[in-house]
Amino acid sequence: MSRAAPAAEPLPSGFAQALIRWQRAHGRSGLPWQGTRDPYVVWLSEIMLQQTQVSAVVPYFHRFLQRFPDVHALAAASEDEVLSLWSGLGYYSRARNLQRCAQLVVQEHAGEFPRSVEGLAKLPGIGQTTAAAIAAFCFGEKVSILDGNVRRVLTRLMAFGGDQSNVAAQRALWNLAQKLVPADPLGDDMTAYTQGLMDLGATVCTRTRPKCLHCPVCEMCEARKSGTQAQFPVKTGRTLKRHESWWLLLVRRQHPSGQAQWWLERRSANGIWAGLYCPPVYGSETALNSTLERSLLDQQLTACEAITHQLTHRELRLQPMLLDLPATSTLSSFQENGRWALASELGDLGLPAPIRPLLAGL
Ligand code: SF4
């Protein structure tokens, strides 16, 4: 692919006005986090929407708000409960940061979110673009968001060829994005503008097959004029997906109540599924077998159907191995951070997305 040179000014004129008009007439409306200036609600939705589709977020958003209606309720919750409600949404560091952030807002800001990008961006888990979204939606600050979708819209609009793997080029695009913000926003113009950027990137200026004929800024878009939409954004340092195989040891025993009990271990605070409960994970079948206690070796291990689980930069092949133990068995050599969990308790524990249906189906 030929590398286009970074765009030169002047910037497209009338961009902000065209976008605001289009958003009010054709943009997304009626999403559960729209129509409010409550920073708690906007913050919660923005964190959930990072790397996640709107349709996946909506039920989680409702459940969270019902259980934690304000920042005080979230700050006072246990980490287990927060992780359990987040379970299935992925990127679990977001959930832990969410709670740390709520605690900080309560302890150091008397329960009120800071009102500027600068103050918001100092809170855990709030990056520049999330801070900008909260500041624009809730406080009308003249500041641009710049997530992956908006980066795509703006690089195409201006045929901006700076390599987005490069910090200097990212900063240059950010500066241009700031110059496109409405100069004298009235009323809720900043809300419509910010929402318009999000909507355009999500529904019109899509990664493949952008709908340029329906685009409100079609006439001023440099990439459309030259037919080079597919060349933007320029990003050379794309990460290739890694493939890994994991063996899961599913240890089950019968509880006196008649229910199944599963052995689960809390994963470390870093890495994949950080902080969640999960059956013991091994990098190979040999590693799994060598961990089993001598007394358990004569128990029958059953290989269950393997599962493929997609993460952003990794594809995991999960091979579950089921081990049924007599009711009185203990696992003395297993990790101290493990516990037996009744099948009926699984709903209250933070479990990785593929693990919950796997255990429920056995
Ligand atoms: S005209 Fe096409 S490429 Fe340009 S901003 Fe609109 S949808 Fe994106």
Closest atom of ligand 1 to CA, residue 215? 6
Beta carbon of 223 within 6 Å of any ligand 1 atom = yes
Q: Which residues are catalytic?
A: 46
Closest atom of ligand 1 to CA, residue 214? 7
pLDDT at 332: 63
* Contact criterion met (CB below 8 Å) for 250 and 338: no
Q: Which amino acid is at 295?
A: S
* Contact criterion met (CB below 8 Å) for 140 and 185: yes
Report the residue among 19, 217, 232 best suited for mutation to probe ligand 1: largest number of ligand atoms under 8 A from its CB: 217
How long a stretch of residues is the chain?
Answer: 362
Structure tokens at 219: 């006439």
Structure tokens at 86: 């987040």
Structure tokens at 355: 């693990």
| Separation CA 28–CA 24 (nearest Å) | 9
Beta carbon of 318 within 6 Å of any ligand 1 atom = no
Structure tokens at 40: 């708690």
Closest atom of ligand 1 to CA, residue 232? 3
What DSSP letter does each residue of 64-103 carry, written as one string?
HHHH--SHHHHHHS-HHHHHHHHTTS--THHHHHHHHHHH
Structure tokens at 23: 């958003």
Packing angle of the helix pair 93-109, 79-86 (nearest 10 deg): 130
Domains of the chain: 15-231 (1.10.340.30), 242-360 (3.90.79.10)
Beta carbon of 233 within 6 Å of any ligand 1 atom = no
Find out whether the peptide bond into 233 is cis, omega within 30 degrees of 0.
yes
Packing angle of the helix pair 15-26, 189-199 (nearest 10 deg): 80
Report the residue among 150, 154, 157, 211 best suited for mutation to probe ligand 1: largest number of ligand atoms under 8 A from its CB: 157
Percent pLDDT > 90 in the chain is 66
Residue whose entry in the numeric block shows the structure tokens 């699984």:
346
| Ligand 1 center from residue 204 Cα (angstroms) | 7
Percent pLDDT > 70 in the chain is 93
Q: Which one is predicted more confidently, 159 or 240?
A: 159
| Ligand 1 center from residue 222 Cα (angstroms) | 9
Task: Report the Cα 17 to chain-centroid distance in Å.
Answer: 30
pLDDT at 7: 58
Beta carbon of 221 within 6 Å of any ligand 1 atom = yes
Give the residue whose CA is nearest to atom 2 of ligand 1. Answer: 212
Report the residue among 23, 149, 156 best suited for mutation to probe ligand 1: largest number of ligand atoms under 8 A from its CB: 156
* Contact criterion met (CB below 8 Å) for 223 and 232: yes
- Secondary structure (3-state) at 327: coil
pTM: 0.77
pLDDT higher than threshold 60 for residue 5: no
Average pLDDT over residues 87-95: 85
| Separation CA 240–CA 208 (nearest Å) | 19
Torsion of CA 144, 150, 154, 157, to 10 degrees: -130
Q: Which of 16-20, 93-97, 102-106, 333-337 has the lowest mean pLDDT?
A: 333-337
Beta-bridged to residue 335, according to DSSP, are: none
> Phi and psi at residue 324, in whole multiples of 5°?
-95, 125
Give the residue whose CA is nearest to atom 8 of ligand 1. Answer: 205
Beta carbon of 153 within 6 Å of any ligand 1 atom = yes
pLDDT at 2: 43
* Contact criterion met (CB below 8 Å) for 45 and 33: yes
Beta-bridged to residue 36, according to DSSP, are: none
